[in-house]
Chains A and B, each alone.
Chain A
Amino acid sequence: MPLELLEFEEPIGILLKEIEALGLLPKTPEREREIAELRDRVGSIRRDLYANLTPWQRVLVARHPSRPNTLDYVALLFTSFSELHGDRLFADDHAIVCGLAEHHGTPVLVVGHQKGGGDTKEKIFRNFGYAKPEGYRKALRAMRLAEKFRRPIVVLVDTPAAYPGIESEERGVAEAIALNLREMAMLSVPIVVIVSGEGGSGGALGLAIGDRILMQEHAVYSVIPPEGCAAILWRDANRKMEAAAALRIGASDLRDLGVIDEIVPEPEGGAHTDPTAAATLLDEALTRALEELARDSPALRLDRRYDKFRRMGSVGLVENDAEPAAGEG
């Protein structure tokens, strides 16, 4: 299946069509050379495009339909995956997956949002990665197993948001997320969080408390989708590009702001162009993080995890001693 191209990748699309057309003609050494040259140009154009992504283009890449999803990475990074289903309270949410797995021979728990690659049927089955309360509760149940058996937890974050529907509210999605925030702060086993695609507000954060927050180069992590932000603040959802820029949701901005610890590079042209290479780069960072965290005592890890989130936002604080100009009436 040819890779789906994003709008801004159109120059690549034209070249790929040329290559395809040439490929249908009888092979000659000259034609082969021509094809090789075109391929080089595709590579260099892609390099340029991806080296200078606008904030909105980053959002599109993070949401790319061919971007590797959680189960893709599970297959590439772990062995012996056995999925665990259900929250033992209401249902099994297919938008969050949990499972026992091995990472280079060490048992770990894997938890992640699952958007559903492939066809529409699969996407609907996964509710497009919009998790419901039972998903967050399943995740906490599984993470408590990891705590009991002293196994590290690896989290993959990739969701547009928690599901905004009637049943989500009825079953307390806010409470489910809130409880995860509080309880994940107290799990004494190592937790490595990887923001791999779309870090969509509270729905993302509900799984994203950990000792190390890694973020893939072209992932985004935001308090609100740019379209929603534009609709409220600009009163026009079409101003999403300005909103995407203003929100500073890319990996390097978030590293500067102290929200994430490390940017994990992706292959040229994004993880979707070469999932195996993307997984190799990710594995390097993940392995290193797990090794480092394994050296610390549980008490030290908990203190450091607390301090890490405790500092978030310090960059935006100032003591302003001037009397506030209180308005009368």
Chain B
Amino acid sequence: MAWFKRNRKPIEANADRASRVPEGLWAKCPSCAQILYKKNLVANLSVCPKCAFHFRLSAADRVSSLLDGPWTEHDATLASTDPLDFEDTKPYKARLEAGTASTGLRDAVIVASGHLDGYPAVVAAMEYGFIGGSMGVVVGEKITRGIERAIAERIPVVIVSCSGGARMMEGTLSLMQMAKISAALARLDRAGLPYVSVLTDPTTGGVTASFAMLGDLNIAEPGALIGFAGPRVIEQTIRQKLPEGFQRSEFLLEHGMLDTIVDRRELKATLSRMLRFAGARRDAAPPPGPPPANEPDTTDTETEVDAPEPGPSEAEAPAPAPKGELTEPPPSDQAT
């Protein structure tokens, strides 16, 4: 099996590049309505400095926020053949192309390796901008290869979920990715290697019902929508309004489904402590500078920060809305 590598540019604080973002010099916080200077927002890991609302991060920014310097992306060229020749109101192939055009990715996940605060690790981050972060055969294969790589190199796995669930347009093959990834995680588990699942807004459907809930530690960002069935489906089933805060991170913590909720600005430091507890191998001293949690390391603008933008957004890539309610239903299994 060939590994296709693509080296990402080293992360450097580059004010010029951040300011080059054509639109969205300013962003409005959907939670507290504060008008934020986007450069400051990005430097704060896309967390509102006033109310700590967590904007959605792109997969590339997420990986950059967790790994120390340059990182290597694996299997970036892996793409879907549209195995069912699926077409609804438009061909699935067109949706794939639109996803690539808006994210620069071939599918809804980046799998990378690098150092997390000095610990060699495989980090996977899902890309909500690519068909709602939905999981089809490419996501399943890339994550599975990432886990197998971690087993071979005896290093930890961190998966950051951000997904509506299994992708409908690849049918039952998408469903089977849940089984495939879980089987690989079983081997990782039996090899005694650590796996931390990070659940971000939203994590639902078949992603929650497989790898997102299988971490040795399951940790979530604050206020994230996390569940199996989508809230609309549940409302239709029980024919009543859902209680406030239902299926949010805090609700899950209270019901015993999460180990902890961590502010994004503390995420890297938290993961580092967890990997130390798990006895992970630490190669290098972390790079000099302030503690990683405070490091403004999301200035890589290769993929734009997913902040609200003026103008229409693609149906497949809805801009984040306050309280995580989707403006468009994602084409994945949770929305039934």
Interface residues of A (CB under 8 A from B): 161-166, 168-175, 177-179, 181-183, 185-186, 199, 201-202, 205-206, 208-209, 221-225, 228-229, 231-235, 242-243, 246-249, 254, 257, 259, 305-306, 309-310, 312-321, 324-329
Measured CB to CB, the closest approach of chain A to B4, in angstroms, equals 7
Instruction: Say which residue of A185, A224, A326 sits within 8 Å of B101 (CB atoms).
Output: A326
Kindly supply a per-residue 1/0 record for chain B positions 291-302, scoring 1 wherever the CB is within 8 Å of any chain A CB and 0 otherwise.
000000000000
Query: A-B pairs with the 7 shortest C-beta distances?
Result: A228-B336, A313-B137, A316-B83, A326-B104, A164-B229, A181-B182, A233-B88
Smallest CB separation, A291 vs chain B (Å): 25
- B333–A316 CB distance below 8 A: no
Check if B7 is an interface residue, CB within 8 A of chain A: no
Given the contacts A234-B89, A320-B106, A221 and B172 also touching, CB distance less than 8 Å: yes
- The yes or no answer to B23 lying at the interface (CB within 8 A) is yes
| Contact segment of B35-43, B207-215, B261-269 | B207-215
Mask of B94-106 contacts with A, CB within 8 angstroms, 1/0: 0000001111111
The one of B106, B179, B242 in contact with A309, judged by C-beta atoms closer than 8 angstroms, is B179
Q: Are A233 and B209 in contact (CB under 8 A)?
A: no
CA distance A285 to B330 in the complex (A): 39
Q: Given known contacts A170-B255, A186-B190, A223-B175, is B213 in contact with A327 (CB within 8 Å)?
A: no
Q: With an 8 A cutoff between CB atoms, is B87 at the interface?
A: yes
Chain B residues near A312 (CB-CB < 8 A): 137, 140, 173, 176-177, 179-180
A316 to B170, CA, bound (A): 8
Q: B79, B84, B233, B243: which contacts A318 (Cβ < 8 A)?
A: B79
Is B228's CB under 8 angstroms from A181's CB?
no
Q: Are A223's CB and B81's CB within 8 A?
A: no
Number of residues of chain B lying within 8 A (CB) of chain A: 83
Contact flags B68-85 to A (C-beta < 8 A → 1, else 0): 000000000111111110
A-B contact pairs, 11 of them (CB 8 A): A162-B228, A165-B234, A173-B228, A178-B210, A206-B209, A223-B172, A234-B88, A248-B84, A312-B137, A326-B100, A326-B103
Q: Which residue of B lies closest to A256 (CB)?
A: B83
B residues in contact with A183, CB < 8 Å: 186
Structural contact, A202 and B206, CB atoms closer than 8 A: yes
Contacts of B136 in A (CB 8 A): 313, 316
**Bound CA span A325–B106, Å:** 10
Q: B168: CB under 8 A from chain A?
A: yes
Could you say which residues of chain B place their CB within 8 Å of the CB of A248?
Answer: 84, 171-172
Report the separation of the CA atoms of residues A162 and B233 in the bound assembly, to the nearest whole angstrom.
12
B138 within 8 A of A: yes
Given A174-B227, A202-B206, list of 15 further CB < 8 A pairs?
A: A161-B336, A162-B228, A163-B237, A165-B237, A170-B255, A178-B210, A181-B178, A182-B185, A199-B172, A232-B330, A232-B335, A246-B84, A247-B171, A259-B172, A313-B176
A315, B83: Cβ atoms under 8 Å? yes
Flag if A329 contacts B178 (CB, 8 Å).
no
Question: A182 to chain B: which residues have CB within 8 Å?
Answer: 182-183, 185-186, 189, 214
Q: Which residue of B lies closest to A242 (CB)?
A: B88
- Tell me if B22 counts as interface (CB < 8 A to partner A): yes
A contact residues around B89 at 8 Å (CB):
233-235
Tell me the smallest distance from the CB of B327 to a CB of chain A, in Å: 14
* Chain A residues, CB < 8 A from B209: 162, 173-174, 177-178, 181, 202, 206
Report the bound CA distance from A63 to B210 in whole Å: 26
Min CB gap A210→B, angstroms: 10
Interface residues of B (CB under 8 A from A): 2, 4, 21-23, 77-84, 86-89, 100-106, 136-138, 140-141, 144, 166-180, 182-187, 189-190, 205-206, 208-214, 227-229, 233-234, 237-238, 242-243, 246-247, 255-257, 304, 329-331, 333, 335-336
In the assembled complex, the CB of A219 is this many whole angstroms from the nearest CB of chain B, namely 12
CA distance in complex: A163, B228 (Å): 10
| Closest-CB distance, B11 to chain A (whole angstroms) | 18
CB neighbours (8 Å) of B174 from chain A are 223
Chain B: CB-nearest residue to A322: B77
Residues of B within 8 A of A247 (CB): 84, 168, 171-172
A165-B238, A172-B255, A206-B209 are known contacts. Are A315 and B178 too (CB-CB below 8 A)? no
With A169-B228, A182-B185, A182-B189 as known contacts, state yes or no: A224 contacts B176, CB within 8 Å: no
CB distance from A250 to the nearest CB of B (A): 10
User: Given that A174-B208, A234-B88 are known contacts, is A168 also in contact with B257, CB under 8 Å in the complex?
Assistant: no
CA distance A181 to B22 in the complex (A): 45
B38 to chain A, nearest CB (A): 12
Least Cβ–Cβ distance between B139 and chain A, in angstroms: 9
Please indicate the chain A residues that have their CB under 8 angstroms from the CB of B79 in the complex: 317-320
Instruction: Decide: A205 near B234, CB < 8 A? Known: A166-B242, A177-B209, A318-B81.
Output: no
Chain B nearest Cβ from A306, distance in angstroms: 5
Q: Which of A172, A221, A225, A319 contacts B77 (CB 8 A)?
A: A319
Complex CA distance for A327 and B316, rounded to whole angstroms: 15
Residues in chain B near residue A168, CB distance under 8 A: 228-229
* Chain A neighbourhood of B140, CB < 8 A: 312-313
From the candidates B173, B180, B185, name the one contacting A310 in the complex (CB within 8 A).
B180
Q: Is B336 in contact with A224, judged by CB distance below 8 angstroms?
A: yes
Most chain B beta carbons < 10 A, residue from A174, A178, A205 = A174
Beta-carbon contact of A249 and B214 below 8 Å: no
By the criterion CB–CB under 8 Å, are B336 and A225 in contact?
yes
Residues from chain B with a CB closer than 8 A to the CB of A166 are 234, 238, 242-243, 246
A319 engages B78 (CB within 8 Å): yes
Q: Are A329 and B22 interface neighbours, CB within 8 A?
A: yes
